[in-house]
Chain A
Amino acid sequence: MHSLRKLATAVAAALALAPVSVLAQDAAPVKIGVVAFLSGAAASPFGVPARNAAELVIELMNAGKAPAPYDTKGFGGSKIETVIIDESGGTTTQVTEFRNLVQRHNVDLVIGYISSSSCVGIAPVAEELKMLTNFFDCGTPRIFEDASYKYVFRTSPTSTMDSVGAALYLKDAKPKMKSIAGINQNYAWGQDSWVDFEASMKQLMPKIEVKMSQMPKLFAGQYNAEISTLLGSKADAIHSSFWDGDLEALILQAAPRGLFKKSTGVLTTGETAMYKLAKQIPDGTILGARGPFGPYAPDNAYNRWLVKEFQERYLVPPTYPSYQMAQAIMGVKLAWEKAQAANGGKRPSKEQVAAALENSTFEGPGGTVKMAIGKGHQAIMETAYGMSKVVGGKMTVTKVKRYPAEMVNPPEGVKSADWIKGGFKK
């Protein structure tokens, strides 16, 4: 009796498992390496929201629960598996771990990298190893301006767009303004952001007076001396690309001294702090979200889907790194499936997926993403800026203005810096 039941169970199990294993053979999983900061200062504002978005979106895609045309299971029917890696430890460590992802874990593609130095370091290695790699967040325009790649993509816009968009909005919002000043962190991101913003302002308002540029060191934490000098400069607007801890410290220390009441604050990554510091950000502060993300995201099916699912699982709304990660996965999924269809339904090669992603256009939670520059490897998107306004104790944005992608991004083959200096020629 006992052995009979055992036999029956075994047979049943074998029958149940058989179709699964046949299916599994048909569609070997697609292995994605996901790299984002999981430790250090950039983890909580960027890395963790991005990783959360990756886990959420991939899980929903595996279940076939994403809105069309992303509703096929996994990537073209193949289940998605992930290998998640921390981005900390410096470029040498990152290059080592990238090689490990490719040659030890045999991933099919890599989506990741928040720090621009990681991206600059990884790009040639990805090319050497012929590994399809999509940068989802890093900002420097140098990557596709200084070199061209076959296997490397970036489905998020560059930091140039943030600075140009901020300058356009400031001009529209305060046409009578006479002077600007800046406070930015003294490292590549802060330097580039200020250089682009200053050059754009000089193009848009040739008579503008640049009072000063403060460059405190990264993670300084204390800005009282800088706030004093900025107050003394009496500039009409103050630009800052500070993020996370530094941004919060600046807002908190500026609030009692009324810096952003006396001068209009232009906070290009202000979105990441707006809900937390609703009381300290004066109404009328210009807030950016590095593109049409978060409060500036269009009301489309993908955005509603991402916000609902993200809020449900993590109890907070998605911020721009989550949007960027989601659209990075969506863009690659679409290219993968296009390549698979062109390949007669068989699993596409990396070269075929790369060819499909090149110059492609797709819709995501932030609206239309066009892989239009960098020989079809660099995305452009529209951008939006608005002003803070507390309504009933809740932070919102008002006077939102949108700028089309071609207006805030250089055309193909033109370097960002030259494009700004040349007067934004299309």
Chain B
Amino acid sequence: MVAISDTGPRRDRRQTARAAHFWLLILLALSMVASLAIGASGVSLWAVLGKLATAQPLDLAEHVVLFDIRLPRLLTGIVVGAALAVSGALMQGLFRNPLADPGIVGVSAGAGLGAVVAIVLGPVLPIAVLGAALLPLAAFIGAWASMLILYRVATRAGRTSVATMLLAGIALAALAGAASGLLVYHADDDQLRDLTFWQLGSLTGASWAKMAIAGPVILGALLIALTLGRGLNGLALGEAAAHHIGIPVQRTKTTAILCVAAATGAAVAISGGIGFIGIVVPHLLRLATGPDHRMLLLNSALLGASLLLLADVISRVVIAPAELPIGIVTAVLGAPVFIWILLRQRGVVDL
């Protein structure tokens, strides 16, 4: 689907996209401050900063809230938001379809299966020694494994067919869904509740330990992804034309797929299923600054991180002292915005 708006810009969009780097950085900075300053407890960021500046000791509550809760949560929000948005942009570029997201290639289904295995079988398997690390680890392995299986299925004689990958992804998602269903049937009530909450996504479980593992994986994948801009632009012309203009097509595809598997797998592992960031963010940016992936990828990372942080702030204040799963917030805010964008556009051609 390519949407054409009659009111589209009639000028060079590179300036707009570069200006967007700047404004999105400011938005991210504001979101970070909001994320550190706003929370259910009465701990004030400013009071703590004041104490730090004057070298006064913090009391335990301030220390825990700021350094063990809000700060890891802030960092988790940034890397997860960026990972989801950039993965969305990568998948859309790779599949040449603005509706693609990591779910299409079975990442979500694979991560979901991993999570179900951890939740339902965790207590009865010897792997229980992994403790709290089991769930994120299993989700990551599930996401990564499903992506690699699809990649192998879709690659023949060194060439990866994205169409095959798409179709095999649907089959694999169905298979993973069935396996999950079988385990869900054997789950008890508490496990079902755990599973439901996991599927809704949350940054609640953010911790330094998880960041230490997932953070570098996601950051590495994102840095590599940022080099794929020209390659994805070329792929927009089709694989043959991309090759003609000098794009190493197979390497671009492989890199994009591995980046998505690593970034999404790690993001889903530490935050559960968070929808809509991956579709809405690149789409909004394409409307505002054009589809040039060289700028789109960085802007997606910035906007994705900002939006997830803001959604997280909402999720923790709206029913405080309880928290709303963040997947609910992103869907409630994201879906109407998305529909509004679609309605606002005059012509939608070439689906």
User: Do the two shown chains form a genuine complex with each other?
Assistant: no
